[in-house]
Amino acid sequence: MASVRQLRGPCQAWPEDSSFIREVLDRIGDKWTMLVVSTLGAEPLRYSDLQASIPGISQRMLTQTLKHLERDGLLTRTAYAEVPPRVEYELTDLGRSLLDAVMAMADWAAAHHNEIASNRAASQETGVGRERARTGAPTR
Protein backbone atom coordinates (compact mmCIF):
# COMPACT_ATOMS: atom_id res chain seq x y z
CA MET A 1 0.00 0.00 0.00
CA ALA A 2 1.10 3.52 -0.73
CA SER A 3 2.43 5.76 1.98
CA VAL A 4 -0.11 7.90 3.72
CA ARG A 5 1.94 10.80 2.55
CA GLN A 6 1.53 9.80 -1.05
CA LEU A 7 -2.20 9.51 -0.65
CA ARG A 8 -2.62 13.21 -0.07
CA GLY A 9 -0.50 16.10 -1.27
CA PRO A 10 2.19 17.64 0.89
CA CYS A 11 0.44 20.96 1.37
CA GLN A 12 -2.91 19.70 2.55
CA ALA A 13 -3.59 18.84 6.15
CA TRP A 14 -5.36 15.47 6.31
CA PRO A 15 -9.01 16.31 6.18
CA GLU A 16 -10.49 13.68 8.45
CA ASP A 17 -7.92 10.97 7.90
CA SER A 18 -6.39 11.83 11.18
CA SER A 19 -8.26 8.61 11.84
CA PHE A 20 -5.02 6.80 11.01
CA ILE A 21 -3.29 8.59 13.83
CA ARG A 22 -6.22 8.02 16.14
CA GLU A 23 -6.23 4.37 15.22
CA VAL A 24 -2.60 3.77 15.96
CA LEU A 25 -2.90 5.75 19.14
CA ASP A 26 -5.88 3.80 20.31
CA ARG A 27 -3.97 0.62 19.66
CA ILE A 28 -0.56 1.38 21.11
CA GLY A 29 -1.05 4.65 22.95
CA ASP A 30 -1.98 3.04 26.23
CA LYS A 31 0.46 2.56 29.03
CA TRP A 32 1.63 -1.00 28.40
CA THR A 33 0.99 -2.22 24.86
CA MET A 34 4.23 -1.02 23.30
CA LEU A 35 6.16 -2.37 26.23
CA VAL A 36 4.62 -5.81 25.95
CA VAL A 37 5.17 -5.92 22.20
CA SER A 38 8.79 -4.86 22.48
CA THR A 39 9.39 -7.35 25.26
CA LEU A 40 8.02 -10.15 23.13
CA GLY A 41 10.12 -8.95 20.21
CA ALA A 42 13.11 -11.02 21.18
CA GLU A 43 11.43 -14.31 21.98
CA PRO A 44 8.20 -15.93 23.08
CA LEU A 45 7.62 -15.59 26.78
CA ARG A 46 5.24 -16.95 29.36
CA TYR A 47 2.97 -14.92 31.54
CA SER A 48 5.24 -14.80 34.56
CA ASP A 49 8.27 -13.96 32.43
CA LEU A 50 6.43 -11.03 30.96
CA GLN A 51 5.43 -9.78 34.35
CA ALA A 52 9.01 -10.06 35.52
CA SER A 53 10.38 -8.38 32.39
CA ILE A 54 8.02 -5.42 32.62
CA PRO A 55 8.61 -3.73 35.94
CA GLY A 56 5.53 -2.13 37.41
CA ILE A 57 2.87 -3.85 35.37
CA SER A 58 -0.02 -5.32 37.33
CA GLN A 59 -1.66 -8.65 36.65
CA ARG A 60 -4.80 -6.89 35.62
CA MET A 61 -3.06 -4.73 33.04
CA LEU A 62 -0.84 -7.51 31.72
CA THR A 63 -3.81 -9.79 31.18
CA GLN A 64 -5.87 -7.06 29.59
CA THR A 65 -3.09 -5.94 27.28
CA LEU A 66 -2.37 -9.51 26.18
CA LYS A 67 -6.03 -10.10 25.45
CA HIS A 68 -6.31 -7.02 23.31
CA LEU A 69 -3.17 -7.91 21.39
CA GLU A 70 -4.45 -11.42 20.87
CA ARG A 71 -7.80 -10.13 19.65
CA ASP A 72 -6.07 -7.97 17.09
CA GLY A 73 -3.92 -10.83 15.92
CA LEU A 74 -0.66 -9.28 17.05
CA LEU A 75 0.28 -12.21 19.20
CA THR A 76 -0.72 -15.80 19.83
CA ARG A 77 -1.49 -17.43 23.12
CA THR A 78 -0.53 -21.07 23.57
CA ALA A 79 -1.56 -22.93 26.69
CA TYR A 80 0.21 -26.21 27.47
CA ALA A 81 -1.92 -28.61 29.48
CA GLU A 82 0.81 -29.45 31.93
CA VAL A 83 0.91 -30.04 35.60
CA PRO A 84 2.08 -26.57 36.44
CA PRO A 85 0.14 -24.65 33.81
CA ARG A 86 2.29 -22.98 31.20
CA VAL A 87 1.15 -20.34 28.72
CA GLU A 88 3.35 -18.85 26.08
CA TYR A 89 2.84 -15.62 24.20
CA GLU A 90 4.48 -15.01 20.87
CA LEU A 91 4.28 -12.21 18.34
CA THR A 92 2.67 -12.99 15.01
CA ASP A 93 4.11 -11.64 11.78
CA LEU A 94 1.67 -8.79 12.11
CA GLY A 95 2.93 -8.14 15.60
CA ARG A 96 6.50 -8.12 14.39
CA SER A 97 5.62 -5.64 11.68
CA LEU A 98 4.29 -3.33 14.37
CA LEU A 99 7.44 -3.87 16.34
CA ASP A 100 9.48 -2.51 13.42
CA ALA A 101 7.53 0.72 13.47
CA VAL A 102 7.81 0.87 17.23
CA MET A 103 11.55 0.44 17.04
CA ALA A 104 11.70 3.37 14.65
CA MET A 105 10.01 5.47 17.30
CA ALA A 106 12.39 4.15 19.93
CA ASP A 107 15.30 5.05 17.68
CA TRP A 108 13.90 8.53 17.34
CA ALA A 109 13.67 8.83 21.11
CA ALA A 110 17.17 7.51 21.54
CA ALA A 111 18.54 9.91 18.96
CA HIS A 112 16.82 13.03 20.23
CA HIS A 113 16.04 12.73 23.89
CA ASN A 114 19.13 14.67 24.84
CA GLU A 115 18.18 17.48 22.54
CA ILE A 116 14.66 17.50 23.89
CA ALA A 117 15.81 17.44 27.48
CA SER A 118 18.06 20.44 26.94
CA ASN A 119 15.32 22.30 25.07
CA ARG A 120 13.04 21.70 27.98
CA ALA A 121 15.64 22.83 30.46
CA ALA A 122 16.23 25.99 28.45
CA SER A 123 12.51 26.73 28.30
CA GLN A 124 12.46 26.28 32.04
CA GLU A 125 14.77 29.25 32.47
CA THR A 126 13.29 31.34 29.69
CA GLY A 127 9.74 30.67 30.73
CA VAL A 128 8.91 29.60 27.19
CA GLY A 129 6.00 27.27 26.87
CA ARG A 130 5.58 27.17 30.60
CA GLU A 131 2.27 26.88 32.38
CA ARG A 132 1.48 30.21 33.93
CA ALA A 133 2.99 30.23 37.38
CA ARG A 134 0.83 31.27 40.27
CA THR A 135 1.30 34.98 40.85
CA GLY A 136 0.08 36.74 43.94
CA ALA A 137 -2.31 35.28 46.45
CA PRO A 138 -4.70 32.51 45.55
CA THR A 139 -8.26 33.52 44.74
CA ARG A 140 -9.66 32.45 48.06
Partner DNA sequence: CTGTATCCCTGAGGATACTG
Partner DNA sequence: CAGTATCCTCAGGGATACAG
Running DSSP on this structure, what letter comes out for residue 15?
S
Q: Does 97 bind a copy of itself (CB under 8 A)?
A: yes
- When the beta carbons of 18 and 58 are compared against a copy of itself, the nearer one is 18
106 binds, options DNA, a copy of itself, none, Cβ within 5 to 8 A by partner type: a copy of itself
Running DSSP on this structure, what letter comes out for residue 131?
P
- When the beta carbons of 8 and 20 are compared against DNA, the nearer one is 20
CB of 48 to a copy of itself, least distance (A): 13
Per-residue DSSP letters for 23-90?
A: HHHHHH-SSSHHHHHHHHTTS-EEHHHHHHHSTT--HHHHHHHHHHHHHTTSEEEEEE--SS-EEEEE
Among positions 82-111, residues that touch DNA (CB under 7 A) are: 84-87
- When the beta carbons of 58 and 105 are compared against a copy of itself, the nearer one is 105
